[in-house]
Amino acid sequence: MSDTAIQIEHLSKMYRLGVINNGVLFRDIQTWIALKRGKEDPHSKIGENKYSGDKDHFWALKDLNIKIKQGDRVGIIGKNGAGKSTLLKILSRITAPTEGIVKIKGKVASLLEVGTGFHGELTGRENIYLNGAILGMKKRRIDEKINDIIEFSGIEHHIDTPAKRYSSGMYVRLAFAVAAHLDSDILIADEVLAVGDAEFQKKALGKMQDLSTGEGRTVLFVSHNMGAVKKLCNQGIVLEKGEIKFSGIINESIIKYSKLSNKSSEIRSEMFFEPNENKPFQVEKIEVLNKNNLLLHEYESQEEIKIRINCISRKPIFNLYGYFSLRREDGESQIVCDSIEGSNNIFNNMPKGKYKIDITIPQSVLSPGNYFPYLSFSDGGSLIDSYLEGLSFEVVDSISSRGKNREALTSLILDWSLIQNYN
């Protein structure tokens, strides 16, 4: 396996729903022997798709093939029921796979749920020694690290109290401190940090990063907090209905997950609005165009992008101000582009008529991902029209340094141009 820490080949896990056997002991033995030999279940239905499932069977994982290198920090992401926890339970040897092979190089420390591996009647200090013994550590080695574990957990005053009296937050603090400091080669954490407070989450993420980069440990991290996943992990695996939908660098994994889980991520690069005669100023249409005025769904990161607004002024407006911002959706919402206040006075003494307004986003400033524009107009004193939901576009291509100026976009001066009286 050389530098490979975990290698998974054709891994599948099936659960039986409602019943736990075939009804006859002899048939149960036949099924068990067949599965152990890697053969088909002799009691499965003829012609059925093995992974399709039926009213009695459910495939939590379907034919997974994964290779994880030593020192990688891998975020396993997906919706509830995607198979994330099942995969980690198999890797932790809590449950056995129905099919396939799992090869693990080194010791595994697991944090699959609050209180895993703790005995409620033992004190926190005694549970530290218990967990160390389970990992095969000698008492002398645990003695060397116990002070660091207790200090990191932040529950010094309660360390000699029985664990059954701990809150869920105290449980996870101590459990994480034990797993992070004892001698393991692979650390598995399944959503447990969601129980801790913000301060502890930050400390825990920093510790996991140190373990990976400084000590070469492999980290598998499951969380629905995409901000935490993005901060910690360098690789990602996206699961859906027990299958791998994407495997690669973490930014692209989060974008893929966002597309699978959010309806708002559907690309819609043109929007029309019903006329409202009561509005003195109104947007009629918004489009996302390239420099050749072509309506596209995807744009290369090195090309210029134009937001075109068709609008109508039903009465003269003394001053028209426009505000534009761009929100990036990659599991966490963040504004990456924001008009500078005072730089967006589009027109003085605007007469009645129809207009086109182009907002140009320069090339090579947006990194790959889905983007959602926000647009509003005012007359200098009050809001006269605004637009928020529905329009989106995607930027592709993660080559070289394109998009590295994204932080500077927060106060980017955008080019607003106006074409009067279009028909």
Angle at 277 between CA 271 and CA 282, to 5 degrees: 40
Over residues 13-69, the pLDDT tens digits come to 888 765 555 556 666 677 667 766 666 666 565 545 555 555 567 788 988 999 999
| pLDDT value at 90 more than 80 | yes
Say whether both 302 and 387 belong to one domain: yes
pLDDT of residue 344: 56
Say whether both 215 and 121 belong to one domain: yes
Say whether both 381 and 277 belong to one domain: yes
- Residues 262/79, Cβ–Cβ less than 8 Å: no
- Residues 90/13, Cβ–Cβ less than 8 Å: yes
Over residues 93-141, the pLDDT tens digits come to 888 888 888 999 888 888 776 666 788 899 989 988 988 887 777 888 8
Give the range of the structural domain holding residue 323, as residue numbers without chain letter: 270-420
**Average pLDDT score over residue span 195-215:** 77
**Residue 185 lies inside a defined structural domain of this protein:** yes
Q: Using CA atoms, how far apart are residues 267 and 36, in angstroms rounded to an integer?
A: 46
Over residues 351-380, the pLDDT tens digits come to 888 888 888 888 888 877 778 887 878 776
Angle at 211 between CA 210 and CA 214, to 5 degrees: 65
End residue of a domain, out of 261, 279, 307:
261
| pLDDT value at 333 more than 50 | no
CB atoms near residue 119 (< 10 Å): 14
- Average pLDDT, rounded, for the chain: 77
CATH of the domain at 296: 2.70.50.60
Contacts of residues 191-194 at CB distance under 8 Å and 24 or more positions apart, as own/partner, are 191/222, 191/223, 191/224, 192/111, 192/112, 192/113, 192/114, 193/223, 193/228, 194/223, 194/224, 194/225
Over residues 400-421, the pLDDT tens digits come to 444 444 443 444 556 677 666 5
**Residue 356 lies inside a defined structural domain of this protein:** yes
The β-bridge partners of 299 are 395
Q: Using CA atoms, how far apart are residues 384 and 307, in angstroms rounded to an integer?
A: 19
**Residue 223 lies inside a defined structural domain of this protein:** yes
Say whether both 222 and 286 belong to one domain: no
- Residues 61/11, Cβ–Cβ less than 8 Å: yes
CATH of the domain at 101: 3.40.50.300
**Average pLDDT score over residue span 287-316:** 85
pLDDT of residue 35: 65
**Residue 320 lies inside a defined structural domain of this protein:** yes
Which residue has better confidence, 255 or 302?
302
pLDDT of residue 244: 92
End residue of a domain, out of 261, 289, 316:
261
Say whether both 275 and 253 belong to one domain: no
Say whether both 83 and 209 belong to one domain: yes
pLDDT of residue 65: 93
**Average pLDDT score over residue span 234-244:** 91
pLDDT band at 190 (very low <50, low <70, confident <90, very high): confident
Say whether both 84 and 221 belong to one domain: yes
Say whether both 296 and 248 belong to one domain: no
End residue of a domain, out of 261, 281, 306:
261
The number of distinct structural domains making up the chain is 2
**Residue 11 lies inside a defined structural domain of this protein:** no
pLDDT band at 422 (very low <50, low <70, confident <90, very high): low
Q: What is the model's pTM?
A: 0.58
